[in-house]
Structure 1
C-alpha cells in the first residue's frame, strides 16, 4: 500500500475500524461571539456589505481561530476534519458580494486544515489524520422553483453550478485535501452538478481522490427537500463511485436512525452519519448532550450500520470525544454483497433485476409517438401536457419516456421546460425518466434537469 495514497489509506482504515469525523465548525465559531470588525479584519475593513456571519471568510481574517478549532477536533479523537468551506462556492459567496474570492477562501481553508492535521500528527504520530474538502449545497436549488407562481423557473442552472463547484473543488485540491465531501445534499441535482465538476477535475489531473457524498433527510417524511427517499438518493449518486455515502444535518440522532439503517442495508459503499445535536429548540440551539449522542451512535455502530461517524450542527469537541469513545473497538460495518441490478430513481427507487417482471414504460409523452402530446407541446400548453405524463404514471408506467424530436420545436428548450415542470409534480416525478432523442444536445439538456437516475 502506498502510504501517500489517500484512496488506499482510507479504504484500508474503513475496512479495519470505525473512523471519526469532526463536529460543527459554525457552532464553535458562534461561541466566540465575534464582532463585525473581527469578521472583516484589516483586508475587508471597507467592504460595502455586512460580513458578520460569513464564517468561511474567517480562514482569511481569523485563521488562528479556525486552525485551533481543527486542532480541538483532532485532539478529541477525529480522524478527519472538514475544511471551513461549507458556503465557499461562488454561488453562496455572492450573498456577500465575494464570489470572486471563492478560490482564495477554499485554498486558504485547505491549507489551514492541512497544517492542523500535520500538527496533530506531530503530537501523536500513532494514527494518520485526514482533511476533507467540504462542498456545501449552495444557497440555490436546481430542482425547485423559488416562485410558486412559476413552477418551471429556476434561479440557477446545472451549468452554473458545475462552474461554481469546479472553482471551489480546484482550490481545495490545490490546497492539499485528502478527500472531497459533497455534503448536506438537499437537492440531488445540485449534488450531481458537484459530482460532474469533481469528475472533470479528476480527469484534468489524471488522478482521483476519495469521495464522500452525504444527503440530508429534512423531516419525518423520510425525504430530502427536493423529495427523494433515501434509496432514491443513493441510486442517484452511486455512479460517481463514492467511497462513502451517508446522511447528515437537519435531524438529530434519534430521528435519523431508521434512515441510516435503511442506507446501511442497500449501500455497496461504506456508510457515514453525522447528525445534529438533536432538533433545534425555541432559540435555535441544540440540546442533545455528548453522552446522549454517544449512546445512540454507539448502538448504531454495534448494530453494524456505520463505518464513519461524526457530528453536524450543535456538536462540539466534547460530542466528538464521547462519540469516538463509544465506537472505539466496535467492528466497522462490512460491505454487503448486493445482486447486480439496474438501479434507477425518480423521487423513489426502481430496481430492475433478473427476478423482475417486465417494466412498463409510458411512451405517450413523446412527440413522435403521440399526436395529441405533440399538439400540446407545439402550442406551448405544458400544463395539459403534464396531465398526459400523470395519466401514464397513474395507469402503471414505471418509467416515462420523454421525446421532443419535432422539426417545428426548439427541442432542447422543450425538453428542459417539460422536465423542469415534471420535477415539480411529485405524482409524476416519483418514477424515473427516459430521455429519448436522436440528438445528443437534447439528451444532455434533459439530463441536466434530472435529480434522479434516468435512462438515455
Structure 2
C-alpha cells in the first residue's frame, strides 16, 4: 500500500526532503563524470546508493528521491545496456530506496516517532538526458511525441516498482511538465512537479512560475505538490510567494547549496552568501513552504540543519 503525501503532511506539519544523491556519492569516492551521472552508481555501487538513503533518513528526511534522475532508457541504451537491463536499473532505483527505508524503519524509525518516509520516484527532464546543462535552459527543439516517448516508460517503471509519488523535477519548461503531468494522470499516479528557475519569478524557459502554478492547478487531480529545486537559494523565498499566489497546492523547495554549475566542465564554483542552510530553511518555512530539503551540493548535514530549522520554526516561528 502506498503512503499518501497528505497523511505525511498532517503528521509532520512540514516535510523534510533529502539532499543530493550525486554529492553524497562523490563524497564516498564515486567517480560520476559520466553521461549517466549518479545513475552510474545503480550499476557500479548500488550498496552506496542504499547507504545514501539511510544517511538521509538518519539526518531527518521524511521523504527521499530515487536515484533515477538521469536513469533513462535512451541514456542507458546509448551506454550499451539492453532495453531489459535499462528497465531493470530504473526499477532498481526504487528497490534500493525501499530496502533502505525498511532497514532504517525496523532499526530506528519505528520507535522514534518519525513519519514513514515517502518514496519519490525521480523523473528528470529531457535536458538531463542530453547531459549538457539543458535542464537549465529548456527549448530542446524536439517534438511532443518524442518527449512523451522519452518519459512514458520510465514513469511506468517507477510507479509500478512502488514509488509513493512521481517527482517530476528540475523542469525548465512548462510545456514539458504538462506533457509529463498528462502521462502521470493517465497512469493514475500521484505526483509533484518541481521547476528549475533562473530568478525569483521565472522558470528557465521564461514563463512566470506563478502562471505555471495557475495552469497546473486546473485539471490535474493527481498533482499533489508543486515547487522549485536546483535553483540558487537566494531566489527561493520569492518563488514560494509567487507559487502561493498562483495556486493552493502545497509548495516544496529543495534548492542548491548556493554554488553555481558550469556544464562545460561539470564542476561547481562560487561562494555561498554566508547564510546557513538552516537559516534559509526557516525563511522558506515562514514564507509558506510545506516541504524543504536540498538539491545539488547538499549532503546529510544540510538536511540535519533543515530538520533542526523545522523544530525551531514549529516552536517559535
Q: Distance in 2 between matches of 1:225 and 1:92?
A: 23
Aligned to 1:29: 25
Query: How far is 1:306 from its partner?
Result: 1.0
Counterpart of 2:250 (choices 260, 265, 270) is 270
Aligned to 2:284: 300
Query: How far is 1:167 from its partner?
Result: 0.8
Q: 1:78 to 1:265 in 2, by over 3 A?
A: same
Aligned to 1:402: none
Aligned to 1:235: 214
Deviations 1:382-436 (A, max 9, x none): xxxxxxxxxxxxxxxxxxxxxxxxxxxxxxxxxxxxxxxxxxxxxxxxxxxxxxx
* Mean CA deviation greater in 277-286 or 165-174: 277-286
Aligned residues: 297
Q: Distance in 2 between matches of 1:216 and 1:87?
A: 16
Aligned to 2:229: 248
The residue correspondences of 1:126-165 to structure 2 (distance < 5 A) are 126-127=113-114, 128-139=116-127, 154=141, 156-165=142-151
Query: How far is 1:51 from its partner?
Result: 4.9
- Partner SS state of residue 313, structure 1: coil
Query: How far is 1:63 from its partner?
Result: 0.8
Aligned to 2:203: 224
**Rg (Cα) greater in structure:** 1
- Partner SS state of residue 240, structure 1: coil
Point out which structure has higher relative CO (alpha carbons under 8 A, 6+ apart).
2
Aligned to 2:156: 170
Deviations 1:197-226 (A, max 9, x none): 222222xxxxx4x31111111236x32221
Q: Distance in 1 between matches of 2:27 and 2:117?
A: 25
Deviations 1:44-81 (A, max 9, x none): xxxxxx95753213223211010000000000000111
Aligned to 2:53: 70
Q: 1:144 to 1:185 in 2, by over 3 A?
A: closer
Counterpart of 1:124 (choices 98, 109, 116) is 109
Question: Cα RMSD over matched residues?
Answer: 2.8
- Partner SS state of residue 182, structure 1: strand
Q: 1:290 to 1:94 in 2, by over 3 A?
A: farther
**8 Å contact kept, 1:245–1:267:** no
**8 Å contact kept, 2:236–2:284:** no
Counterpart of 2:187 (choices 201, 213, 224) is 201
Tell me, yes or no, if structure 1 residue 114 matches structure 2 residue 98: yes
Q: 1:70 to 1:189 in 2, by over 3 A?
A: same
Q: Distance in 2 between matches of 1:132 and 1:326?
A: 22
Tell me, yes or no, if structure 1 residue 6 matches structure 2 residue 22: no
Structure 2: runs of 5+ lacking an equivalent: none
Q: Distance in 1 between matches of 2:16 and 2:295?
A: 12
Q: Distance in 1 between matches of 2:251 and 2:3?
A: 18
State the TM-score, normalizing by the size of structure 2.
0.84
The residue correspondences of 1:304-319 to structure 2 (distance < 5 A) are 304-319=287-302
**8 Å contact kept, 2:197–2:231:** yes
State the TM-score, normalizing by the size of structure 1.
0.60
Q: 1:136 to 1:325 in 2, by over 3 A?
A: same
Q: Distance in 1 between matches of 2:2 and 2:30?
A: 38
Q: 1:115 to 1:288 in 2, by over 3 A?
A: farther
